[in-house]
């Protein structure tokens, strides 16, 4: 296998530029929008009721979203340092390959393609389709609209990273504008605030309360997930050692502000009990404030948000499959780059087609349930990479980097513990689907060794 060990001083600009490789076209704004677009999906408009159903005071509800944001920010710092140390194509895949083992990296890419990325994209595409049809009233099935959206974004991203980034940035800004509109009208048209800071806790302080708050944190951490996918674009970011870490931190900070403020509005207008009682809090708030027309406005915002998330997913993850193919552990054709657009067209088409299949077959709901434990498990493993790379840097006497993780190693260990607690909780509460996700990952091991042996044979000849 062509496993290339990269030193900390190696120039990361390989396979870029006019020679037919990936082109570095993304600046700080595009990178920041990729981070925010990877996090802000339709869930923030819909899912906060789950948190309010677990904890029942204004303080605990908002504290859960602030705590989740701090954990996401910690993850952003970890990935920012990893990006500064290894600003190469594939991001998280490359970190796992260089710090742990190529097989671990392959399993991540394997699960990303088969389940995590494509299953999530299919689910969000169907969410987009439902709100799109609510607005247009077209007599078409949601699965067909979902497949069409995925096909359109596949074509756009095949035209170049700049085209894909522009669409994704525009949709992300539209989603933020919809949230801003909701917040503005809540203060202009809203009645008395339903927020009450007393009592702080809904039960006496105990381990039971700690576990309950932990259960409320699970959907919060899911909502904050996605910032890591911007690291996949390291090979197409200008000056990645500086731009990518800054984009990661700025993007996560922006999402913390958006998520915390919109949940403040939910609680202010509906109160903790009212928030827990509605599965569509954004629509409920806008109907309270503006009547039926408000519901239509926020439906458009949700559709834009879902489309922007899809654009970010289509833009980022194919770079992992591209990196796998370059390493000789995936189909060689996936590493092909269009000489005109400088994007991995085959990798983009592969992901888009598989996501369309999942959307059309209606298996997205089942698939998404498999990914939770695997996603968080690889988050923790990627943070372990930082411990390994730091130790190597000390042994090699490498110079300090510009964006170190504050409080390392304790903050890094805290992030690992938080992610793996989610893994343990998922296996405990849904062992069947969690084990299916683990089985899909383990099934990648024979494929890895088969591709590695095949590549060795081709190299020998």
Close Cβ partners of 126 (under 8 Å, ≥ 6 residues apart)? 142, 143, 146, 359, 364
**What are the Cα distances from residue 61, in Å, to 57, 185, 394?**
6, 22, 42
Peptide bond into 32 cis (omega under 30): no
- Locate the domains of the chain by residue range: 28-456
Q: Return per-residue pLDDT of the chain as tens, 461 residues.
A: 333 333 333 443 334 443 345 566 677 887 787 788 778 877 787 778 888 988 889 999 999 999 888 888 888 889 888 888 887 777 889 999 999 999 999 999 999 998 888 888 888 888 888 888 878 888 888 889 999 999 999 998 888 766 666 776 777 788 788 888 888 888 887 677 778 887 877 777 777 787 778 778 878 877 887 777 766 666 667 777 778 788 888 888 988 998 999 999 999 989 999 999 987 788 888 888 888 888 788 888 888 888 888 877 887 788 889 989 988 899 889 989 888 878 889 999 999 999 999 888 876 656 666 677 788 889 999 999 999 999 998 888 876 776 788 899 999 999 999 888 878 877 877 788 788 888 988 999 999 999 888 877 666 55
CATH of domain 28-456: 1.20.1740.10
DSSP string of 241-307, one letter each residue:
HHHHHHHHHHHHHHHHHHHHHHHHHHHHHHHHHHHHH-S-HHHHHHHHHH-HHHHHHHHHHHHHHHH
Name 110's bridge partners.
none
DSSP state of 234: G
pTM of the model: 0.78
């Amino acid at each position: 296998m062509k496993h290339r060990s990269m030193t900390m001083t190696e120039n990361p600009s390989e396979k870029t530029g006019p020679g037919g490789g990936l082109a570095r076209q993304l600046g700080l704004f595009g990178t920041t929008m990729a981070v925010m677009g990877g996090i802000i999906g339709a869930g923030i408009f819909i899912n906060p009721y789950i948190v309010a159903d677990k904890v029942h005071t204004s303080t605990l509800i908002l504290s859960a979203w602030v705590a989740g944001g701090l954990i996401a920010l910690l993850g952003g710092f970890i990935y920012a340092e990893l990006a500064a140390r290894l600003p190469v194509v594939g991001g998280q895949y490359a970190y796992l390959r260089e710090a742990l083992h190529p097989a671990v990296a392959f399993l991540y890419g394997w699960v990303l393609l088969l389940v995590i990325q494509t299953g999530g994209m299919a689910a969000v595409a169907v969410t987009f389709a439902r709100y799109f049809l609510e607005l247009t009233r077209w007599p078409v099935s949601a699965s067909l609209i979902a497949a069409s959206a995925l096909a359109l974004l596949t074509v756009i991203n095949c035209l170049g990273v700049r085209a894909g980034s522009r669409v994704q940035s525009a949709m992300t800004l539209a989603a933020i504008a919809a949230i801003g509109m909701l917040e503005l009208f809540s203060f202009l048209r809203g009645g008395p605030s339903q927020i009450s800071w007393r009592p702080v806790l809904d039960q006496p302080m105990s381990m039971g309360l700690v576990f309950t708050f932990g259960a409320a944190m699970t959907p919060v951490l899911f909502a904050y997930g996605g910032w890591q996918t911007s690291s996949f674009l390291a090979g197409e970011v200008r000056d990645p050692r500086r731009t990518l870490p800054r984009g990661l931190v700025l993007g996560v900070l922006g999402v913390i502000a958006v998520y915390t403020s919109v949940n403040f509005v939910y609680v202010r207008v509906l109160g903790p009990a009212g928030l827990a009682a509605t599965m569509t809090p954004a629509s409920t708030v806008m109907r309270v404030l503006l009547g039926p027309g408000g519901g239509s406005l926020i439906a458009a915002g949700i559709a834009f948000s879902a489309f922007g998330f899809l654009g970010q997913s289509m833009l980022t993850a194919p770079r992992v499959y591209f990196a796998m193919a370059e390493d000789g552990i995936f189909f060689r054709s996936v590493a092909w780059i269009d000489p005109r657009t400088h994007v991995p067209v085959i990798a983009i088409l592969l992901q888009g087609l598989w996501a369309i299949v999942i959307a059309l077959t209606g298996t997205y709901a089942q698939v998404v349930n498999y990914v939770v434990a695997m996603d968080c498990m690889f988050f923790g493993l990627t943070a372990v990479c930082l411990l390994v790379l730091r130790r190597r840097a000390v042994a090699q006497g490498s110079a300090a980097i510009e964006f170190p993780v504050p409080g390392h190693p304790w903050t890094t260990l805290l992030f690992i513990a938080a992610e793996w607690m989610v893994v343990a909780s998922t296996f405990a509460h849904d062992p069947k689907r969690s084990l299916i996700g683990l089985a899909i990952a383990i099934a990648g091991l024979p494929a890895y060794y088969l591709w590695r042996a095949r590549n060795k044979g081709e190299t020998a000849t």
